[in-house]
Amino acid sequence: MPHQKVHKTARHTSFYLEAGPAEGTPIIFVHGWPELSLSWRHQLPFVADLGFRAIAPDMRGYGQSSIYHKHQDYALREVTADMLELADGLGIERAIWVGHDWGSPVVWSIASQHPDRCLAVANLCVPYFTLERGWQGILPHIDRNLYALKDYPAGQWEYQCFYEEQFDQATAAFDADPYKVAKLLFRKGDPQGIGKISGTAQTRHDGGWFGGGEIPDLPRDDDVISEEDLQTYANYLQQNSFFGPDSYYMNHAANAVYADEIVDQRLHMPVLFLHGRFDYTCETITSNSAEPMRARCDNLTEQIIDSGHWMAQEQPAAVNENLAAWLTSENLT
C-alpha cells in the first residue's frame, strides 16, 4: 500500500502518496479534474513493484493539499512550481512525469519549461501543445465536420466557455451534491458515442452542466470506481468545494503567456502519449489535435487505449502494460 505523506514549504503544502524503494527511479503522477492522488491507485503499486519510486500528489485545490481562493492561484505557472518544489523537497533532480486531464498540461509545462527536470514524460488523453497554451492551443483543432462553427464556436470545449461566463453558477451546481457529480462523472467510455456530439459541447447552450436542473442520479459504474473510492472523492470535494478544481479553467490567457515563454518548443526526452478511443472531449483520434505534438517531439511513442476519459481507472491493465513496455523500450527501468 502507498504511504501517505506531506511536504510543506512556506509557499505550498502537498499531500502525496508514495510507494516503492526510495532509491528507485522516481515517477511522479499528476492528476486532473476533479480527482485526487487516489486516481493513480492502480499505477502506484504496479510501478513500485517494477522498482520505481512512485509518487502521486493531491494537486492544489484538492484533497489534503493547499486550497486557494483566487482564480489566478490555479494558473499553470503556480501549479508547475508546486511540482518542482515537491521534487526538490524529496531530493529528486529528474523524474519521469505522468499526467492526465489537467495533469497533462502540468506535465507538458514541466517538460517544455524545465526539460532538465525530466527523464521522460507520459500523458493520457491531452496531447502536447494544446490545452497548456490556453484557447490558442485548442480552438484550431476542433473537428468542424462535427462541430459547426455557428452552433458550437468552441466545439467540445463549450463547457470551458461556460466556466468563464458563469463560474459561480457552474461551481454551485457541483457543490450542491459532490457525491452525485462524482458518481455521474466516473464512468467508462461508450463506443456508441463515436462520431457524435460530446455532451460537453452542450453545456453553454443548455445553460449549465445539467441543463440548469438537478444532477442526474445515475448508478455507480463499478467498472471504474468502487463505492469506497467514490466516497473519498466526494468527501474531499464537499470539504474543499469545486472552486479550486474549476478555477483551473479560468486561466487560459495567463497559461498562454506562460507557454509563450518557452525558448525551445521541441521535446527532446522520450514521450509516451495514450489516446482514449472513446474520449469525446479530449478527442485525438479523428481530429488533428495530436498533430502539433507529433511535430514537436523527437522521440514520441503513441498507443490507442479502448477507453473513455478516465483511462487510468477504467483500463488500468492496459495503461500499466503500455507504461511498462515504454519504460523498458527507453531503458528507463
Write out pLDDT tens, residues 76-108: 999 999 999 999 999 999 999 999 999 999 999
Q: Could you tell me the pTM of the whole model? A: 0.98
Rounded to an integer, what distance in angstroms lies between the CA atom of residue 13 and that of residue 40? 20
Residue 304: CATH number of its domain: 3.40.50.1820
Give the cell for residue 149.
Answer: 462553427
Virtual torsion, Cα 100, 319, 108, 287, nearest 10 deg: -80
Does 51 score more than 90 pLDDT?
A: yes
Write out pLDDT tens, residues 142-160: 999 999 999 999 999 999 9
Percent of the chain residues past pLDDT 70, beyond the cut: 100
Residue 237 and residue 178 in contact, taking contact as beta carbons nearer than 8 Å: yes
Backbone angles phi, psi at 155, to 5 degrees: 55, -135
Rounded to an integer, what distance in angstroms lies between the CA atom of residue 178 and that of residue 324? 34
Which domain, by its residues, includes 149? 3-329
Give the count of alpha carbons within 13 A of 284, CB side only. Answer: 28
Give just the sign of the alpha carbon dihedral 167, 169, 172, 178: negative
Count of structural domains within the chain: 1
